[in-house]
Structure 1
Amino acid sequence: MPRVKSSDTAPKKAPVRKKTLTKTIHPKKKTKSILVDVIEDEALPSEKKLASDFLVESENKKKRKGMTSQAEKTTSEISSNLDRQKEFFSSLALKEKSTDNSNDGRGGKQDREAGKRSLGLYRRLAIKFIILVVALAVIVAYFSFSKLTVAVNLKGETISDTLLLKIFDPNNTEVPTVDDATDSITKTATATVSMLQNDPREPMAGNIKEIGTSVDKTYLATGETYLGEEVVGSVRIINNYNKSQPLVATTRLLSPDGKLFRIKNAVNVPAGGEVTVDIYTDKPAENMAISSTTFTIPGLWLGLQDKIYAKNDAPFTFTKKVQKYVTANDLEMAVKDIGENLIDNAKSKAGAGQNWLYLTLTSPVVNIDAKVGAKQEEFTAKASGKIVAVAVDVSEMSKLAAAKLNLIIPDDKELANFKGDNISYSLDNYDVASKTATVKASFSGTMILRSDAQVINPQQLVGLTDEQIRTYLNSRPELKEYTLKFSPAFMKKAPSLVDRIKIEVDKN
């Protein structure tokens, strides 16, 4: 007989009991005694309950009916027991079938639900796994492909310096003595070089020339005394008559618009000819400066006015009438200018091909043919003097200047832009006795960071955003300009790995 599982906890197994039923046969009937052994199988809790209920109900029936006789009782009991057993097992089979069907339905539903739960679990695990793989791929791609290139253009810093040179001419043998006045031995060019080696200023060989020159020049007086106003111009007196026509000074000339002018000098105009004469006006004013026109001569007979007349070919000019005189400033400027003219004259004598520096050895001797207050429009100045011309070796000077700048440049920088042609020179002094000149050279250059110097530390940029990087770079004074190139372009943040950051330096 099959066992039915119950959700309740199974009780302890009861021992198998054997019931012996004895059937008594009355003598009236010829029957045989039958011994029936009923072996009870281990009952499940539900079966026990069902059997218990059935037995209780049977006992109640027995009590109601009573036992009429022992044989009937025995026969009825046997029959009843058989019927009850049949009913018991039938009901038990139905119960088990019902229970099995119920369990099968619940089990199938539970299996389906369990399958659904398992499928959802697998789906969630798969989604999480995919998300994890994608995130890992993004992280790997970020570290593998993210890159930042910083291209910087360095800003040069100007550095300036000066150098004093002691210029000597190796070809010049006219050198003063080394010892005191009692020693009459003159120095040679080699002795001059030896002397210069003890001078704190930088010695340099060059060319030195002493040039004597003279010059004269005319200058205009700038002093003015106001005398009044005047209208200045000239006219042509035209005579188309068959006789000459004399005209006295102050003869009137009348313009078409009624302006009156006079001729300054007396003239005699020949027949069929013309004469040019200056004019003036009694009332000078700006409106009297008229353009070209034809004038009549009111003093002539009316019949001659169309034959003898005047005409101006150029406009008249209105001016203020002044008296020129020489001022003290005129003389000072003349002395200064005549000295510069002496140097210009010396330049033409020094010769071309070298960068000469000039200096007047002594104050030039200047002679001027006018004094302060002299009423004249111009005066003449003459001067003479001695000029020294010094030429510097530009190539050598360029090397010295570059070496001097390299000495004062910091260790982490280098000279980037220096041109010897831009050196400016000034001749400060000339020693006539030693025939040496002191020249001051002024020069400048541009210095930038050295090629092996670290302009930007990539470690400082790790993980910074675009704005943070720009703020950092803007604070660096040595940078002229810069550009940032992110890869990929949409990622505006520096990589987290320092080796993915590249610095490119442009020194041009």
Structure 2
Amino acid sequence: MPKKFTDIARPNGSDSKKNARNSEPEKTEKPRLQQAARATSAASLSSRIKDNVRRKANIWKKLVQGKKTLDHETEKHAARKHRVPMKALMWSGIFLFISACVYGFGLMATSVHIVITTQKQKQDQSFSIQFSKKLATATADILPLRLYEKSFQYTKTYQATGQSQEPSYVEGTVTIYNKAQRTPQVLVATTRFLSSDGKLFRLIERTIVPGYTIQNGTTTPGSIQARIRADQPGPSFAVQPTQFRLPGLAGLAKYQTIYGVSIVPFAYAATGTIPVVTEDDIQNAKQSIAQYAIDQTKQDIVSSLPDSIKLLDQALRIKVSSVAVPAKAGTKTSSFSATIQGTVALMVFDEKDITQYVQTKMSVNQSASTLVKDVVTFSYETPIVSFEQGTMTMSVHAKRELIPIVDTMMLQQKTAARTLDDLRRELLAVSGVRRVDIVVWPFWITRVPSNVDKIDIEVR
């Protein structure tokens, strides 16, 4: 930094001479100091310029190096961006291979399924048909009739519905003892038991009385409880606890050792009711067994005939020779029997004959381009039957469906290699076709296969 010089004011008095003497050297020193100051200033400026240039050079160097680094990073990023991983390449190859296989298989397995729905027509017509048992086969106007006759005899049991008021029978429980033997004693149902006051009762069910046993020198009689019923109705048999003897053992040693004992009084129940046969029961049984005879005989005959044989109720005749009901009105019983005897005659025909006859008549006005459905339904009206002459006349109402004929083989040849739109238009133009549904495989094909074996046509 240059030095700064400041002029000093001239002093007054004695110093003026001294200052005059020193003024000459001061004039010589001043240029030299100014030159040194200028040199120092130039050197300082040069140093600052060099520092500035060096600093700018360093900055530029760093900028150049930074740009190179940035370019290198950019190139690395671009390389990474454009580099395709091996795994992605592998999966892409697998996908392309599978797609090619599917496409190739689809081309080889190409097929077309066509469903054609036709416009069906219903046809119904009535005919008057004659039958005769004299014919073995059908003619143009008369159909054969078969006559069957069978004798029958059936017996059935019916329940009585009437009721009669009757005195009830006294019943009670007795304990029967067996001191006579070590083996059991069998007593059959209705075995008589006589009370000590002479009232007779009977055993209701078969009973086995155990024999006596001996244990430690003590004999214990065998015993069993059983129900007995008074031999006659009425309250006089309501006996008090007593002992009963068995009259059937009278005169035997067992008479004293096999006996019965009651420990409670026998009670008399109120007057009860018992079933009896009424006149209505008899008449209903006669009607029921007659219908049973018809149904059973008809079943016996028809079951042995082919399924196509038809029997009408009007073509059946029953002749009853006898209906026997042994029970009379008022008979006291819960059930009774009825027996019927007689003969049944019935005339049947074969529906196959009617089917052939009707189809022949109905085909007169049938179009050549239609096909008759197999199922033909019939209804029979007002049959007139004569068993004496063996004839029958009746009205037959027939119904059937007419289906348009569709030549599937011709359509296969005609539609091969056509586009699907052309195929649909072609099929809808066929007479009698109402609707067309097309299913293709694989789904992306737009043409029908040229191989007719891969074209499937279904007509509904």
| TM > 0.5 fold call | no
Return the structure number with greater relative CO, CA threshold 8 A, min gap 6. 2
Q: Give the TM-score range, shorter chain.
A: 0.3 to 0.5
Q: Provide TM-score, normalisation by structure 2.
A: 0.39
TM-score w.r.t. the length of structure 1 is 0.36
Greater Cα radius of gyration, structure 1 or 2: 1
